[in-house]
Chain A
């Protein structure tokens, strides 16, 4: 009876989750009706430099930039952690393994301090916007006012759910109360995600305004403004990216604790925690490029000029930096997996393959960040015979990069497959044949990816060039799914030895730090690009930015700003880790 009740409650809670996502639609619809009947709207204000308030010694753009960036990093972290805390809690209940529950609770405790900092940076951002850009805020709140109230309401719901979720963890740890606790976790996640969706509407409206005419006169239906062109893709991209980001920060926390662990039990615990969080991070990273592809396609579809500014002009160089950072991230993820071979009894036998995988990943990494155009002096350009290098020039084009990225993904997956095999010995008779089939699958897939990229990328037109990336991605995804199915049947009755958690070398943990820093840096740099393609507009093509800061900063300036932001953020995160550590040592956080 009790288990039946649990099932009913769990099913109802799961069914309620998507309904909670519909709440903003319902509320927006109500607000739209109220707004439509209430008032008429004026055009967007035309401002002069004198309309922007000044505060001596403070650069308004820098203030807003830093506050917004800090808020976004912390918000991404605190939105993501409850998602996999909930998943871990459910996994712990299903598998009846207390380890999941313990780690989930520890994840949540780490993120709790970050909540207050998220609220503080959010407050700073809001105050900065009101002080420095009052006319913009007046215009935006004239359109989005009802959603701002809705935001406050969901913030209240999220805070209440968070406290109940955290403080109720132990009192609600058994029987039906555990399922009620999971229900609270669902509400926490739904309200947090809804908050992000609402804020995304404001940001995306500034890039691709909808529901307004050319002069910025609002048509009165708030849903038109909310559901602008970039809202959907931005929601998806940020949702997935947050999970990857949250995973990487928690993995860095585990690495920090691993390095300072006193006993072998503690070391084993944090090794397992780091591995689990990193698996979540890399798992969420894999589909992220596809969400990014959708986002970029929508930017191009809305304004080709904005799209070309994004990828074909000055900002293209930031995509090269992006490639370097993501490449470093993949190298670090692979390195972490290779170090992890040591946890399994069979791990030694796979070390011989590492050098080949490392070679392929390094080679694809080099192709990925080869720029198309080079910064050259007139003499250099003249001796080269033009702006493009005859050999390396073709590697700067997207087809070469698509080949490189797909192969890099496949070889990272191969590292993961070898890692899984490090503590499994198959007992089925067809194990060797199964491995041969997997090898054939990899060979055929790589041949297909290369042939699609080379032929359609260099010997046909642009339409075919872009279209060929779809079967390339499909090939990679097919290999991942097919290999996992083969591996499942091959290792279903395998001899599984206990993984030796805590046996990995200390140096492996620095890979986890590198992944967290790369993610943070990437978000800052690419977030700047996304925002800066509006150029001299507050609201693209509707409300012009006439402040003294209405110019696009140089890439060096932007890179330095984001780098300083990254250092500040990581310093605060280190402080939070330390706080969490001393809190646990004194027992304040546990009970």
Chain B
């Protein structure tokens, strides 16, 4: 049970981390993370 909880918490944490990283790396290339066409 502990392992499943750790998995879910870590999944949420790393998901959030990757999202922030994506935003940062698009910005670093002069692009907005949100594509506006």
* Chain A residues near B (Cβ < 8 Å): 432-433, 435-437, 439-441, 443-445, 447-448, 452, 456, 459-461, 463-464, 467-468, 470-471, 474-475, 478
Q: Is the CB of A471 within 8 A of B26?
A: yes
Contacts of A456 in B (CB 8 A): 35
A449 nearest CB neighbor, chain B only: B18
A439 and B8 alpha carbons, distance in the complex (Å): 10
CA gap between A277 and B35 in the complex, in Å: 45
Whether B6 contacts A448 by the Cβ 8 Å rule is no
Chain B CB within 10 Å, residue with most, of A436, A459, A460, A463? A436
| B contact residues, range | 20 to 34
Contact A444 B15 (CB under 8 A): yes
Given A436-B4, A470-B25, A441 and B10 contact (CB-CB distance below 8 Å): yes
Give 4 closest A-B pairs by Cβ, nearest first.
Answer: A440-B10, A444-B14, A440-B11, A448-B18
Task: Tell me the bound Cα distance from A459 to B3 in angstroms.
Answer: 37
Q: Bound state CA distance, A443 and B11, in angstroms?
A: 7
In the assembled complex, which residues on chain B have CB atoms less than 8 Å from the CB atom of A461?
A: 35
Are B18 and A467 closer than 8 Å at their CB atoms?
no
**Which single residue of chain B is at the shortest CB-CB distance from A452?**
B22
Q: Give the complex CA separation of A447 and B18 in angstroms.
A: 10
C-alpha gap A386/B3 in the complex (Å)? 51
Q: A443-B11, A444-B18, A456-B35 are in contact. Are A474 and B6 (CB under 8 A)?
A: no
| Bitwise interface map of B from 1 to 37 toward A, beta carbon under 8 Å scored 1, else 0 | 0111011111101110111011001101101000100
Chain A residue with Cβ nearest B18: A448
29 contacts between A and B (CB under 8 A): A433-B6, A436-B6, A436-B10, A437-B7, A439-B7, A440-B6, A440-B10, A441-B10, A441-B14, A443-B11, A444-B17, A445-B18, A448-B15, A448-B18, A448-B19, A448-B22, A456-B35, A468-B26, A470-B28, A471-B18, A471-B21, A471-B22, A471-B25, A471-B26, A474-B21, A474-B25, A475-B18, A475-B21, A478-B21
- A327 nearest CB across to chain B (Å): 26
Q: Which residues of A lie under 8 Å from residue B8 when comparing CB positions?
A: 440
Whether the Cβ atoms of B25 and A447 lie closer than 8 Å is no
A-side contacts of B13, CB under 8 Å: 440
Tell me whether A467 and B11 are in contact in the complex, defined as CB-CB below 8 angstroms, given that A433-B2, A433-B3, A474-B21 are known contacts. no
Q: In angstroms, how far is the closest chain A Cβ from the Cβ of B6?
A: 4
The A interface, classified by DSSP as helix, strand, loop or mixed, is: helix
Most chain A Cβ neighbours within 10 Å, of B10, B13, B18? B18
What's the minimum C-beta distance from B4 to chain A, rounded to whole angstroms?
A: 7
Q: Report Cα–Cα, A445/B14, bound state, in Å.
A: 8
Q: Which residues of A contact B29 (CB under 8 A)?
A: 467, 470
Closest CB in chain A relative to B17 CB, distance in Å? 8
CB-CB under 8 A from B26, the residues of chain A are: 467-468, 471
With a CB–CB cut-off of 8 A, which chain B residues contact A468? 26
Inter-chain CA distance A448–B20, complex, in Å, is 11
| Closest Cβ–Cβ distance, residue B35 to chain A (whole Å) | 4
User: What is the CB-to-nearest-CB distance from B10 to chain A, in angstroms, rounded to a whole number?
Assistant: 4
| A464 pairs with B14, CB closer than 8 A | no
B11 touches A444 (CB 8 A): yes
> Which residue from chain A places its CB closest to the CB of B19 in the assembled complex?
A448
Chain A residues contacting B28 (CB-CB under 8 Å) are 470
A475 partner residues in chain B, CB cutoff 8 A:
18, 21
Give the Cβ gap from A466 to chain B, nearest Cβ, in Å. Answer: 9
Q: Report Cα–Cα, A464/B6, bound state, in Å.
A: 34
The distance in angstroms between the C-alpha atoms of A461 and B14, with both chains bound, is: 27
- List 4 other contacts, CB 8 Å, given A447-B15, A471-B22: A437-B6, A463-B31, A470-B28, A471-B18
Tell me the smallest distance from the CB of A3 to a CB of chain B, in Å.
Answer: 43
Which partner residue on chain B sits nearest A432 by CB separation? B3
When distances are taken between beta carbons in the complex, the residues of chain A under 8 Å from B4 are: 436
Neighbouring A residues of B21 by C-beta, 8 Å = 471, 474-475, 478
Closest to B3 in A: A436
Contact between chains at A437 and B25 (CB < 8 Å): no
Q: Which residue of chain B has its CB nearest to the CB of A434? A: B6
How close is A473's CB to chain B, nearest CB, in angstroms? Answer: 9
Q: How far is the CA of A468 from the CA of B33 in the complex (A)?
A: 10
What separation, in Å, do the CA atoms of A437 and B12 have in the docked complex? 11
For A435, the chain B residues whose CB sits under 8 A away are: 3
Q: Are A437 and B31 in contact (CB-based, < 8 A)?
A: no
Shortest CB–CB separation between residue A444 and chain B, in angstroms? 4
- For residue B10, which residues in chain A have a CB less than 8 angstroms away from its CB? 436-437, 440-441, 444
- Given A444-B14, A471-B21, the answer on whether A436 and B31 have CB atoms closer than 8 Å is no
**Smallest distance from the beta carbon of B20 to chain A beta carbons, Å?**
11
Residues of B contacting A471 in the complex (Cβ-Cβ under 8 angstroms): 18, 21-22, 25-26
B34 to chain A, nearest CB (A): 10
Tell me how far the C-beta of A413 lies from the nearest C-beta in chain B, rounded to whole angstroms. 16
Report the separation of the CA atoms of residues A419 and B16 in the bound assembly, to the nearest whole angstrom.
30
Residue of A440, A441, A445 with most partner-chain B CB within 10 A: A440
CB nearest to A482 among chain B residues:
B14
Q: How far is the CA of A433 from the CA of B9 in the complex (A)?
A: 11
Q: Identify which of B14, B22, B29 gathers the most chain A CB atoms within 10 Å of its CB.
A: B14
Nearest-Cβ distance from residue B27 to partner chain A, whole angstroms: 10
Residues of A within 8 A of B19 (CB): 448
- Specify which chain B residues have a CB less than 8 angstroms from the CB of A478 in the assembled complex: 18, 21
- In the complex, the answer to whether B35 meets A460 with C-beta atoms within 8 Å is yes
A443 to B4, CA, bound (A): 13
Knowing A433-B2, A470-B25, the reply to whether A464 touches B35 (Cβ < 8 A) is yes
